[in-house]
Amino acid sequence: MKKKCLCLIILITGVCFSVVTFAGEKVHWGYSGHEGPKFWGNLAPEYTPCAEGRNQSPIDIAKMIESDLPPLAFNYQAGGTQVINNGHTIQVNYNTQSSITIDGISFELKQFHFHSPSENIIEGKSFPMEAHFVHADNKGALAVVALMFETSAKDAKNNELEKAWAQMPAMAGGKAALVQPVDANLLLPKDRSYYRFNGSLTTPPCSEGVRWLVMKSHVTAAKAQIDKFKSVVGHPNNRPVQPVNARMILE
Ligand SMILES: [Zn+2]
């Protein structure tokens, strides 16, 4: 009888494990404990770059090399029409044609989402929040524009952010159509100078070959807005900085 029970337990465990594994990218990961960043590379075969990649994100942006970076050509319009809570972050999905042009290639804005505290740090400085504007070209190559948020000294609300924040789903899996579409252009700072380097997704599967463009200027949000994000996500959602290795950071 004991043997039968044991077999059943093994069978059930095995089935559960299979369901999780065969769900592809749906393998569970998190920001702490045995599903935390240190273990991402071991959680699934497709997450191997998290452990073995040499061009991983985020990084400490330092030792920049002065170069003639062309101005970033933003072609954004209001188009953030849905806000989702995916259990890892709050994300605004974009549905109208908004793009940036890099290296003569057009990358379409798909979504933007947030991390708190910031993932990238700039010369050792961390920020309370960082936004990632995720773009893809027609071959699926990715370009991420990163924007740092500071807490407003005057406690001024970030009005564009508030359009999404007002309908932020409190529960993981929640989604809401936005009453007022968010214009990513209005989230960006006036000064659009940037740092550029190669990197990866900062979440599993940590795929490399991502063009990173980090705005030098930051914007602000009210403390209550940053606190609301933190409390809804419920834990810090920043991957620790990764080794720069042979990469060059251009400015
Ligand atoms: Zn991100």
- What is the pLDDT at residue 25? 45
- What is the pLDDT at residue 165? 98
- Mean pLDDT along residues 92-108: 95
Residue 46, in any domain of the structure: no
Q: pLDDT digits over 4-26, tens only? A: 444 344 333 333 333 333 333 47
**Strand spans (E) along 125-207:** 129-136, 142-151, 175-183, 194-200
Residues whose CB falls within 8 Å of the CB of residue 32, separated by 6 or more in sequence, listed in order: 235
Please tell me the distance between residue 17's alpha carbon and the centre of ligand 1 in angstroms. 27
- What is the pLDDT at residue 56? 98
Please tell me the distance between residue 131's alpha carbon and the centre of ligand 1 in angstroms. 7
- What is the pLDDT at residue 89? 98
Cα 161 → chain centroid: 16
Residue 206, in any domain of the structure: yes
Q: Which residue has the tokens 């000064």?
A: 191
Please tell me the distance between residue 144's alpha carbon and the centre of ligand 1 in angstroms. 8
Q: pLDDT digits over 111-146, tens only? A: 999 999 999 999 999 999 999 999 999 999 999 999
Q: pLDDT digits over 173-192, tens only? A: 999 999 999 999 999 999 99
So which residues are the catalytic ones?
88
Q: pLDDT digits over 39-93, tens only? A: 999 999 999 999 999 999 999 999 999 999 999 999 999 999 999 999 999 999 9
Task: Flag whether pLDDT at 2 surpasses 60.
Answer: no
What type of residue is 19? V
Please choose, from the candidates 82, 86, 83, the residue with its C-alpha nearest in 3D space to the C-alpha of residue 29: 86
Residue 30, in any domain of the structure: no
Residue 45, in any domain of the structure: no
- What is the pLDDT at residue 149? 98
Residue 197, in any domain of the structure: yes
Q: Which residue has the tokens 């948020």?
A: 149
Termini Cα distance of the chain? 69
Q: What is the number of structural domains in the chain?
A: 1
Residue 62, in any domain of the structure: yes
Q: pLDDT digits over 210-232, tens only? A: 999 999 999 999 999 999 999 99
What type of residue is 217? S
Residue 178, in any domain of the structure: yes
C-alpha to C-alpha distance for 16 and 11, rounded to whole angstroms: 9
* Residues linked to residue 196 through DSSP beta bridges, in sequence order: 213, 250
Domain that holds residue 223: 51-233
Please tell me the distance between residue 6's alpha carbon and the centre of ligand 1 in angstroms. 42
- What is the pLDDT at residue 96? 80
Rounded to whole angstroms, what are the CA distances from 78 to 141, 144, 196, 220? 23, 18, 25, 20
Please tell me the distance between residue 197's alpha carbon and the centre of ligand 1 in angstroms. 15
Residue 200, in any domain of the structure: yes
Please tell me the distance between residue 2's alpha carbon and the centre of ligand 1 in angstroms. 48
- What is the pLDDT at residue 164? 98
CATH number of the domain residue 160 falls in: 3.10.200.10
